[in-house]
């Protein structure tokens, strides 16, 4: 089933994933009637990327806050499909917990209310692998799926907000709409997303440049994960949207969550970064700088220091227990359920994803090197 003639709203459209979703919607062979790109701000580079596609689909740029109910009501007028990828990602604790909840949970709930009042029929939520874990004990999962039983533990604010927002989305599936139909929702849980423009990958590149082009190792070689290319997770959203419009497939999709991966190799985070950049002369540290237990003790020491300094200054440690657990827990999932239920297949092979990402790394490395050197001076 195509998306021809549909009006779609994409939230977080100025972000790493959101703008890729917008581009793929604008590239659809059977044109949508309109794509509304919503975010608080758009870089000039992102707007140029949209313009360069020269799509005949109407593109409407909407700048506003996901916490603004009146703005959201205007944004969804006449819309049939919402792809909600807007959120604040924070694993270090840089963002106040209340702000995380207001945007990730409160903003999602306000958007859902606006959709129901305006008879929006389809809603796809971009969730996160962190909804599943890993838990604070670091229990591993190897090639898990949607039926895998896993003990989730609270305590990581970002994971908690994504879990609560996903729950809000899926619970509303099946609610009656004014035209006699019902609200259709689903959630996609991507693995760690990589690709050109990734802010997290750029951070690792910067760290490696400062370390003589050697990636820091904070993840054990045994801690295998399976990242997903940004073009493939964006494509999964479009394939899920098509399934929602298909009378036969919608029954399997509605009210469900799906893990989205691709055929990228299963490696630790550090080794995966190295795999993307090794042909450009980047190396990776062979082992952890200190035993993992010592790193956990170090993280605890930094947490105590942060607590003691709180009356005087806000100090956010560069590493914490959650990050260490995230980076050092084997945690891989299969995308077979998504393949079965709505026909998800990666749009880009691993070779293509690696080539695109490596080309981007090669392009940004000289400018990042110059910038970082100037800061040191």
DSSP string, 129-162: GGGT---TT---EEEE-TT---------HHHHHH
Nearest alpha-carbon partner for 216 in 280, 266, 289:
289
Strand, coil or helix: 37: strand
Give me the residues paired with residue 39 across strands. Answer: 63
Following CA atoms 239, 245, 250, 255 in sequence, which dihedral angle do they give, to the nearest 10 degrees? 80
Query: Taking the CB of residue 194, how many other CB atoms lie within 10 A of it?
Result: 24
Catalytic option among 122, 158, 258, 344: 158
Could you give the C-alpha distances from 182 to 80, 167, 186, in angstroms and in order?
A: 12, 18, 13
For residue 44, give every residue at least 6 positions away whose Cβ sits within 8 Å of its Cβ, in sequence order, or none: none
Instruction: Assess whether 158 carries a catalytic annotation.
Output: yes
Q: How far apart are CA 38 and CA 55, in angstroms?
A: 18
Strands in the chain per DSSP E: 7-11, 34-39, 58-63, 81-84, 122-126, 141-144, 184-190, 193-194, 214-215, 228-229, 256-260, 283-284, 331-333
- Contact between residue 187 and residue 163 where contact means Cβ atoms under 8 Å apart: no
Angle 172-176-177 (CA atoms, 0-180°, nearest 5)?
110
Query: Taking the CB of residue 63, how many other CB atoms lie within 10 A of it?
Result: 12
Q: How far apart are CA 215 and CA 285, in angstroms?
A: 6
Angle 334-339-343 (CA atoms, 0-180°, nearest 5)?
160
> What are phi and psi for residue 245, nearest 5 degrees?
-90, -5
Catalytic residue numbers read: 158
């Amino acid at each position: 089933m195509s998306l021809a003639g549909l009006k779609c709203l994409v939230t977080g459209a100025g972000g790493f994933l959101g703008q890729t979703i917008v581009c793929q919607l604008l590239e659809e062979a059977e044109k949508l009637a309109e794509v509304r790109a919503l975010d608080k701000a758009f870089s000039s580079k992102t707007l140029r990327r949209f313009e360069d596609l020269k799509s005949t689909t109407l593109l409407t740029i909407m700048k506003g806050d996901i916490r603004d109910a009146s703005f959201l009501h205007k944004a969804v007028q006449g819309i049939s499909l919402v792809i909600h990828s807007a959120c604040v990602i924070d694993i270090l604790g840089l963002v106040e917990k209340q702000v995380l909840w207001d945007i990730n949970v409160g903003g999602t709930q306000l958007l859902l209310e606006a959709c129901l009042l305006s008879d929006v029929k389809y809603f796809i939520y971009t969730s996160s692998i962190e909804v599943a874990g890993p838990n604070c004990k670091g229990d591993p999962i190897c090639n898990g799926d949607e039926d895998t039983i896993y003990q989730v533990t609270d305590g990581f604010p970002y994971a908690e907000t994504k879990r609560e927002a996903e729950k809000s989305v899926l619970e509303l599936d099946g609610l009656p709409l004014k035209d006699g139909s019902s609200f259709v929702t689903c959630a996609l849980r991507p693995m760690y997303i990589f690709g050109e423009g990734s802010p997290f990958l750029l951070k690792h590149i910067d760290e490696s440049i400062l370390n003589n082009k050697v990636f820091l190792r904070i993840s054990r070689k045994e801690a295998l994960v399976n990242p997903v290319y940004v073009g493939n997770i964006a494509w999964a959203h479009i394939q899920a949207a098509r399934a929602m419009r298909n009378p036969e497939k919608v029954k399997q999709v509605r009210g469900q969550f799906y893990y989205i991966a691709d055929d990228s190799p299963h490696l630790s985070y550090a080794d995966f970064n190295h795999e993307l950049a090794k042909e450009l002369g980047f190396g990776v540290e062979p082992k952890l700088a200190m035993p993992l237990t010592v790193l956990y003790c170090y993280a605890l020491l930094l947490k105590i220091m942060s607590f003691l300094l709180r009356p005087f200054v806000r100090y956010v440690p560069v590493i914490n227990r959650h990050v260490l657990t995230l980076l050092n827990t084997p945690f891989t999932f299969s995308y077979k359920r998504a393949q079965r239920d709505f026909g998800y297949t990666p749009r880009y092979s691993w070779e293509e994803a690696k080539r695109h990402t490596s080309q981007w790394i090669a392009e940004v490395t000289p400018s990042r090197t110059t910038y970082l050197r100037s800061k040191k001076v």
